[in-house]
Amino acid sequence: MMLTTDPPVPAQVPVVPPSALSALNLSGVTKRYDNTNVLDGVFLDVPAGSVLGLLGKNGAGKTTLIKCALGLIRPNSGVVTLLGEPAHALSATGKAKLGYVPQEISLYPWMRVRQLLEYTAAFYPKWNSALVQQLLVDWELNSNDRIGKMSVGTRQKLAIILALAHEPDLLILDEPAASLDPSARREFLKTVLSIAAEGKRTVVFSTHITSDLERVADRVAILRKGKIAFDGELDVLKDSVKRLHVTSSNPLPLTLDVPGAVRVRVEGKEALISVRDATDELIESLRRDHSASVRVEDLNLEDIFVEVQHDAAR
């Protein structure tokens, strides 16, 4: 892995040390480009054995976060620990435990698939040839095909196989399914699920496909304006954010003030309120204060993501 030459600046925020069970820890990480903070004091801890989905709008800084996490670029401030080591000085042993698929795939175009597999295998002390052969069959890759003539989606499949073959302790994927067709995406998610089911490996993947994340992730982190807006268990996020349908017998105030509101839309006697931690007390106060009926709606992850991003734009 190559590092940029820009020197680190001492952290200006408190450093939170990773726990013994962390696979990845970012503490107060800031990264600036042209005086703009792409990452602004990011705190993120990924427990070993978890599957974390990283969500964010295009341009939110997901790729920058991943590159900082991998030690490919140095943050201007903050500390990154990867598999118990400083990310920018990862040992050979640490690198052998890491699998990474970047958003933009760059492979040797003159090689054939089997040649690249053999070449890559020589760098790792552990290589699961049986897994490689099975994935080649499942994903319909021909080992004699020349890489330069393969489609973008097929090269992405091959890059994922290369990242999985040495059975890494930590697998980091940046938009891994972006170029895959629906059938290939299902096979990819099936493979990730099989890895996650063992509970021995950690997976971090950036995606904008919320349905994919809901199938495989047990944790989610939402990146918003260079900060982590939410980091925790997926079920906790879905339980915490609800949409309230409020119908009153009187016109509702346009500036309806609701504690924990993420988004409020008022039209006459009706309002839609997306809110964090919709307690029974909050619902009862809306009914009482506005002579209203209140219906609580569960939201899927895509709805929550849209609402959280809207909150960021206010």
197-231 per-position pLDDT tens digit: 666 789 998 887 788 788 888 999 999 888 998 88
Instruction: With respect to residue 9, please indicate whether it lies within any of the assigned structural domains.
Output: no
pLDDT score for 8? 39
| Same domain, yes or no: 216 and 295 | no
| Same domain, yes or no: 156 and 258 | no
Instruction: With respect to residue 181, please indicate whether it lies within any of the assigned structural domains.
Output: yes
Q: How far apart are CA 269 and CA 292, in angstroms?
A: 9
CATH number at residue 135: 3.40.50.300
Which is nearest to 58 in space by CA: 309, 237, 314?
309
Instruction: With respect to residue 220, please indicate whether it lies within any of the assigned structural domains.
Output: yes
| Same domain, yes or no: 54 and 136 | yes
| Same domain, yes or no: 207 and 245 | no
Q: Mean pLDDT by 10-residue block, N- to C-terminus, for the chain (314 residues)? A: 36 45 92 90 92 88 93 93 92 92 88 96 93 90 94 89 92 82 78 71 86 86 89 89 92 88 90 89 92 92 82 51
Q: Which residue range is the domain that position 303 belongs to?
A: 240-313
| Three-class secondary structure assignment of 169-208 | CEEEEECCCCCCCHHHHHHHHHHHHHHHHHCCCEEEEECC
pLDDT score for 1? 33
pLDDT score for 18? 52
CATH number at residue 281: 3.30.70
In total, how many domains does the chain have?
2
Which is nearest to 294 in space by CA: 270, 264, 277?
270
pLDDT score for 307? 83
pLDDT score for 178? 72
| Same domain, yes or no: 221 and 255 | no
Q: How far apart are CA 131 and CA 289, in angstroms?
A: 62
Instruction: With respect to residue 235, please indicate whether it lies within any of the assigned structural domains.
Output: no
| Same domain, yes or no: 27 and 113 | yes
| Same domain, yes or no: 202 and 60 | yes
Instruction: With respect to residue 2, please indicate whether it lies within any of the assigned structural domains.
Output: no
| Same domain, yes or no: 54 and 163 | yes
| Same domain, yes or no: 285 and 180 | no
Instruction: With respect to residue 11, please indicate whether it lies within any of the assigned structural domains.
Output: no
| pTM for this model (two decimals) | 0.82
Instruction: With respect to residue 244, please indicate whether it lies within any of the assigned structural domains.
Output: yes
Instruction: With respect to residue 10, please indicate whether it lies within any of the assigned structural domains.
Output: no
| Same domain, yes or no: 248 and 149 | no
Alpha-carbon torsion, ordered 283, 285, 287, 291, to 10 deg? -160
